[in-house]
Homo-oligomer: A and B are copies of this chain.
Amino acid sequence: MKCRKCGHEAVINMRQHKLALCGEHFLEWVPEQTQRFIEKYGMFTPDERILVAVSGGKDSLSLWDVLLRLGYKADGMYIGLGIDGGVDYSSQSHEMCEKFLANIKSQNCIPTWQPTLHVVDVAQLYGETIPDVAARTTRGRGKPCSVCGLVKRHVMNRVARDGGYGVLVTGHNLDDEVAVLLGNTLTWNAGYLLRQAPVLPADKPGLARKVKPFFRFYERETAAYALVRGIEYIYDECPFAEGSTSIAHKEILNQMEKDSPGVKLRFYLDFLRAREQGLFAQQAAHVELSACDKCGQPTSAPGLCAFCRLWEGKKTDGVGQASQV
């Protein structure tokens, strides 16, 4: 397989685009496409300060890299969840983020922006690791994933707000998005279908705008980018992800993709088009949000938000505080 641009040996063939590229041209193509998506979906402008949630994985580190290469004012945020899973998962992930930053800085090739990495350690700040919190609550039926999602959303939003970031950026790729879409479709959850989008506007006071600039890249493309670009990342999935529905859905979707290249991308883009045209509009329930009594973040519950209720009676030094980052 030859690169379409220069005829050299290709490193990747993207069947859904009928496009094969060599390493050099792939490293050009990814930022070009990202820039196109940022503009097409109105994600952010070069003036805005951007907060990228980095996990130490290929998607978020590649995204941070691409945004810096494109000249955006992108800082990183790592949330230490205290997950070990026999592979020292959280420490390893943190290390990858620090390594990435050090590497970027040493290269001194980012002229416009000197990035920082905000680090929030959940156990240090709130007194317990995610697995410990999960073990004493009924949320998530024995799995920490639900608690983890709640905590991450809260912390990301707080750091974005306190740090004065206009926009919060995550590294979700197309495989992530389509797996969630399949799950929401299998249960026909109108509320979830309505809220799934590459740009979630900051339409409530205290909520940061959330965007996913990599949502049109397949997982293998973000992996290839990290590889070709020489970005070190943590290969392991979160140990708690094993056996999850979203992994099962990814396998199903990959099998469909194999038989019909592009089906994942079309499924998602057709969904966005239908959503835009109001397919689910009938079901849009208006939810009243008020400020949490403790931390001030928007919540649909009266009094305390779900995050603050999680830590009631526990060491709460960090809860409701201004960002320590």
Residues of chain A at the chain B interface (Cβ within 8 Å)? 185-188, 190, 248, 252, 255-256, 259-260, 263, 266-267, 270-271, 273-274, 277-283
Least Cβ distance of A257 to chain B in Å? 11
**Which B residues lie within 8 Å of A282 (CB)?**
278-282
Q: What is the bound-complex CA distance between A78 and B111, given in angstroms? A: 76
Name, among A185, A270, A277, the residue most crowded by chain B CB atoms within 10 Å (CB to CB).
A185
**Which B residues lie within 8 Å of A279 (CB)?**
188, 190, 279-280, 282-283
Q: What is the bound-complex CA distance between A232 and B277, given in angstroms? A: 49
Chain B, Cβ-Cβ closest to A181: B185
Name, among A271, A273, A280, the residue most crowded by chain B CB atoms within 10 Å (CB to CB).
A280
Q: B248 touching A188 by the CB < 8 A rule?
A: no
**Which B residues lie within 8 Å of A185 (CB)?**
185
Q: What is the bound-complex CA distance between A248 and B259, given in angstroms? A: 9
Chain B, Cβ-Cβ closest to A190: B279
The prevalent SS among residues of A at the interface is helix
- A186-B266, A187-B270, A188-B273 given; name 14 further pairs at CB < 8 Å: A185-B185, A186-B263, A186-B267, A188-B270, A188-B279, A252-B252, A252-B255, A252-B256, A278-B282, A278-B283, A279-B279, A279-B282, A280-B282, A281-B282
Q: What is the bound-complex CA distance between A31 and B278, given in angstroms? A: 41
Q: What is the bound-complex CA distance between A184 and B274, given in angstroms? A: 12
**Which B residues lie within 8 Å of A267 (CB)?**
186
**Contact residue among B187, B255, B274 (Cβ-Cβ distance under 8 Å from A190):** B274
**Which B residues lie within 8 Å of A260 (CB)?**
248
**Which B residues lie within 8 Å of A255 (CB)?**
252, 255
**Contact residue among B188, B256, B274 (Cβ-Cβ distance under 8 Å from A188):** B274
Q: A277 touching B266 by the CB < 8 A rule?
A: no
A-B contact pairs, 25 of them (CB 8 A): A185-B185, A186-B263, A186-B266, A186-B270, A187-B266, A188-B270, A188-B271, A188-B279, A190-B274, A190-B277, A190-B279, A248-B256, A248-B259, A248-B260, A252-B255, A255-B255, A277-B283, A278-B282, A278-B283, A279-B279, A279-B282, A279-B283, A280-B282, A281-B282, A282-B282
